[in-house]
A and B are shown apart, each in its own frame.
Chain A
Amino acid sequence: MDYGRGHHKSARALPEEGPAFAYTAENRARLEEICTRYPPERRQSAILYALFIAQQQHGHLTLNAMRHVAEVIRCTPAEVEDVVSYYVMFFTRPVGKYVVQVCRTLSCALMGAERVTDELSQVLGLQPGETDAKREFTLLEVECLGACDKAPVVGVNDDWHECQRPEDARALVEGLRARGAASLTGCHLKVTS
């Protein structure tokens, strides 16, 4: 929405935090390509992509990364922080190599998701929200992932694992350690060709 010239923009600055951050040339080029999807004066629309790319590059979003995103997107650092703090897929603290996300909403819960979290919590020695010291795993409970027919569903980074039974928690963890995302079921609909 256009608010006109009088619209207040917070001048709040973000302090420095984390190592110096700038996109790699390749990532910057990817982002600039994405920016062409929006009118030139609407670069802010690419902010979610800008943040995903920054997060992919560094692992999580430091304040330094947010400051860089603000510069590249041409908005205020406060606007970047506003967005980062709203969307659940952005991490402001370091996470593990595998971010294990158990869907906890009703359809999955009816099929035993609470116990899936229990067992994964036990096997990993982590409470939901925690990351292990080696930064191998982060355990999270998340809201409906939209795969309720294959409940309980567990997201691992950007991949899916379906029909996870509580008793198979160790198998899930060992599978990830041994074979990474290839050990997951993926989406049952997933286009393979």
Chain B
Amino acid sequence: MDPVLTRYIREPNCHTLAFYEQHGGYQALKKAIGMAPDAVIEAVKASGLRGRGGAGFPTGMKWQFVDKKSPRPKYICCNADESEPGTFKDHVLMERNPHLLFEGCLIGCHAIGAKVAYIYIRGEFYHVQLVLEAELAKARAAGYVGKNIMGTGFDCEIHIHRGAGAYEAGEETALIESLEGKRAQPRIKPPFPAVEGLWGCPTAVNNVETLCNVPFIIERGAEWFTSIGPEKNTGPKLFCISGHVQKPGTFEAAMDVSLRDLIYDPKFAGGIRGGHTLKAVIPGGSSVPVLLPHQLDIPASYDGIAKAGSLLGSAGCIVMDETTCMVWAAQNLLYFYKHESCGKCTPCREGGDWLHRLLGKIERGEGERRDLDLLVSVANNIMGKTLCAFGDAEATPVLSTVALFREEYEAHIREGRCTVPAPWRSAHAGARAVAAH
């Protein structure tokens, strides 16, 4: 598949309005404004576009659920909080192709009857925000954003909203809370944002990559989109490969590409780093179950990876070679989750800390046999027992590594030491993790 979303990203000035206009920019917007909003939604539904943020929910349906009869204003909130460990694709799109995102936001607003879109960008992406702000000003000056867009009578504003460091702000209702000027904590659903979202108004929260696909669907048609990739897993997709590979990076492919090719093909990540062998892969950001080397001959699609027992998630694929201790890896991730838990639900807030402590104990060689059962028990008491998906995300690294690498956990307990030490790790990291809290 020829790249669609990232076609021009290596060309100089590809982020500028002039470049975007020369390559057909904002023509899809013009076409969309000429269509009835429902027709835009129908086109997106027919394309089969699924949300690229993690959950894979059909975008057209999400837009259709927006309560159009409500007398209140409607909003698009673009989720640019990209924080799932192992994920760095939206960053590329915003940095190199900001106008594509603006165009996607504007078409989305037309479709759901919104006059304002907010792009919620994580605070750490400040250099990206500077690009967005500068290009947004140009788009506004050129009449693509603001009043009477392209002389069509359509009014729509886009604003950039800067986050301040919170993984949980990537959860759609927590993102809305944060946009309202509060802690990024999730809300009880229902009501869903489509009915009561930002300031109680009907809201669609869409990921950056999702919105970036929309102009192409309008311009080239749903049929073109469905011709890319397998059924129900249509359209171009960005994959982020990091960890122990030769060539880490963001790669665009159709979702019929195999997970093995993404990791080994020289076109993509180019295989495991010199002299090493593959041990485990987390295919969809740190929150999804681990896959083993023999499980990679599957399409890297929502359904393909789900069938293998994991999730495509945010398509952040973390690759680990044989030098990686899986107890250490789980501990590393549980530090992340306990640190980022918003604290609203007890199982997640308390359980994350317990899991991290237990993993630390086992990793240090102080684990007892009963700790392994306790670890699984605590994880199972978080799973499915929280308001948002964070709880499941937190329990998953533990449950999945214990299931697949139980022998490694047992060896740590039996031998009273880490049995897979690596020279690239630090003897002090464990103590630091304890000292930090």
Which chain A residue shows the least CB distance to B10?
A189
B53 CB, nearest partner CB in chain A, Å: 13
- Whether, in the assembled complex, B124 has its beta carbon less than 8 Å from a beta carbon of chain A, the answer is yes
Which chain A residue shows the least CB distance to B184?
A86
Query: Chain A residues near B82 (CB, 8 Å)?
Result: 146
Query: Chain A residues near B393 (CB, 8 Å)?
Result: none
Query: Chain A residues near B179 (CB, 8 Å)?
Result: 45
A108 CB, nearest partner CB in chain B, Å: 9
Which chain B residue shows the least CB distance to A101?
B124
CA distance A147 to B324 in the complex (A): 20
- Of B27-35, B145-153, B158-166, B305-313, the stretch lying at the interface with chain A is B158-166
CA distance A155 to B286 in the complex (A): 21
Chain B contributes a number of interface residues (CB within 8 A of A) equal to: 73
CA distance A128 to B429 in the complex (A): 11
- Whether, in the assembled complex, B339 has its beta carbon less than 8 Å from a beta carbon of chain A, the answer is yes
- Whether, in the assembled complex, B361 has its beta carbon less than 8 Å from a beta carbon of chain A, the answer is no
Q: Is B200 within 8 A of A149, CB to CB?
A: no
A169 CB, nearest partner CB in chain B, Å: 12
Q: Is A89 within 8 A of B124, CB to CB?
A: yes
Query: Chain A residues near B336 (CB, 8 Å)?
Result: 105-106, 143-144
Which residue of B178, B183, B316 is within 8 Å of A148 (Cβ)? Answer: B316
A116 CB, nearest partner CB in chain B, Å: 9
Type the 1/0 row for B218-242, where 1 means its CB is closer than 8 Å to any CB of A: 0000000000000000000000111
- Whether, in the assembled complex, B88 has its beta carbon less than 8 Å from a beta carbon of chain A, the answer is yes
Type the 1/0 row for B72-116, where 1 means its CB is closer than 8 Å to any CB of A: 000000000011111110011001100000000000000000000
- Whether, in the assembled complex, B432 has its beta carbon less than 8 Å from a beta carbon of chain A, the answer is yes
Which chain B residue shows the least CB distance to A129?
B436
Type the 1/0 row for A57-93, where 1 means its CB is closer than 8 Å to any CB of B: 0000000000000000101000100110011111000
CA distance A156 to B118 in the complex (A): 27
A102 CB, nearest partner CB in chain B, Å: 11
- Of A5-13, A15-23, A46-54, A171-179, the stretch lying at the interface with chain B is A46-54
Query: Chain B residues near A51 (CB, 8 Å)?
Result: 164
Query: Chain A residues near B436 (CB, 8 Å)?
Result: 128-129, 141
- Whether, in the assembled complex, A191 has its beta carbon less than 8 Å from a beta carbon of chain B, the answer is yes
Which chain B residue shows the least CB distance to A107?
B242
Query: Chain B residues near A144 (CB, 8 Å)?
Result: 83-86, 167, 286, 336
Q: Is B164 within 8 A of A90, CB to CB?
A: yes
Which residue of B91, B123, B200, B333 is within 8 Å of A147 (Cβ)? Answer: B91
Q: Is A83 within 8 A of B182, CB to CB?
A: yes
- Whether, in the assembled complex, A42 has its beta carbon less than 8 Å from a beta carbon of chain B, the answer is yes
- Whether, in the assembled complex, A96 has its beta carbon less than 8 Å from a beta carbon of chain B, the answer is no
- Whether, in the assembled complex, B180 has its beta carbon less than 8 Å from a beta carbon of chain A, the answer is yes
- Whether, in the assembled complex, A117 has its beta carbon less than 8 Å from a beta carbon of chain B, the answer is yes
Q: Is A86 within 8 A of B426, CB to CB?
A: no
Q: Is B324 within 8 A of A48, CB to CB?
A: no
- Of B244-252, B379-387, B402-410, the stretch lying at the interface with chain A is B244-252
CA distance A89 to B324 in the complex (A): 31
Query: Chain B residues near A186 (CB, 8 Å)?
Result: 127
CA distance A178 to B88 in the complex (A): 31
Query: Chain B residues near A95 (CB, 8 Å)?
Result: none
CA distance A73 to B324 in the complex (A): 49
Given contacts A148-B85, A189-B95, contact A117 B426 (CB under 8 A): yes
Q: Is B86 within 8 A of A114, CB to CB?
A: no
- Whether, in the assembled complex, B46 has its beta carbon less than 8 Å from a beta carbon of chain A, the answer is no
Q: Is B424 within 8 A of A106, CB to CB?
A: no
- Whether, in the assembled complex, B332 has its beta carbon less than 8 Å from a beta carbon of chain A, the answer is yes
Which residue of B181, B333, B428 is within 8 Å of A106 (Cβ)? Answer: B333
B231 CB, nearest partner CB in chain A, Å: 30
Q: Is A106 within 8 A of B329, CB to CB?
A: yes
- Whether, in the assembled complex, B412 has its beta carbon less than 8 Å from a beta carbon of chain A, the answer is no
Query: Chain B residues near A47 (CB, 8 Å)?
Result: 181
- Whether, in the assembled complex, B50 has its beta carbon less than 8 Å from a beta carbon of chain A, the answer is no
CA distance A185 to B249 in the complex (A): 17
- Whether, in the assembled complex, B20 has its beta carbon less than 8 Å from a beta carbon of chain A, the answer is no
Query: Chain B residues near A82 (CB, 8 Å)?
Result: 182-183
Which chain B residue shows the least CB distance to A80?
B181
CA distance A187 to B200 in the complex (A): 37
Quick one: which of A79, A110, A115, A142 has the most chain B CB within 10 A? A110
Q: Is A148 within 8 A of B164, CB to CB?
A: no
Q: Is B318 within 8 A of A189, CB to CB?
A: no
Which chain B residue shows the least CB distance to A114?
B426
A193 CB, nearest partner CB in chain B, Å: 6
Type the 1/0 row for B282-322, where 1 means its CB is closer than 8 Å to any CB of A: 10001000000000000000000000000000001010100
- Whether, in the assembled complex, B125 has its beta carbon less than 8 Å from a beta carbon of chain A, the answer is yes
18 pairs from A and B in contact (CB 8 Å cutoff): A48-B123, A75-B181, A87-B163, A88-B164, A105-B85, A106-B86, A106-B282, A106-B336, A107-B86, A114-B425, A115-B424, A141-B432, A143-B339, A146-B124, A147-B88, A148-B86, A148-B240, A189-B91
**Interface residue ranges, A against B (CB under 8 Å):** 1-2, 37-39, 42-49, 51-52, 73, 75, 79, 82-83, 86-90, 104-107, 109-112, 114-115, 117-118, 121, 127-129, 141-151, 155, 158-160, 186-187, 189-191, 193
Q: A143-B340, A150-B248 are in contact. List 12 more A-B contacts (CB 8 A).
A: A43-B181, A45-B180, A47-B181, A87-B184, A107-B243, A109-B332, A109-B429, A114-B425, A143-B167, A146-B91, A189-B96, A191-B131
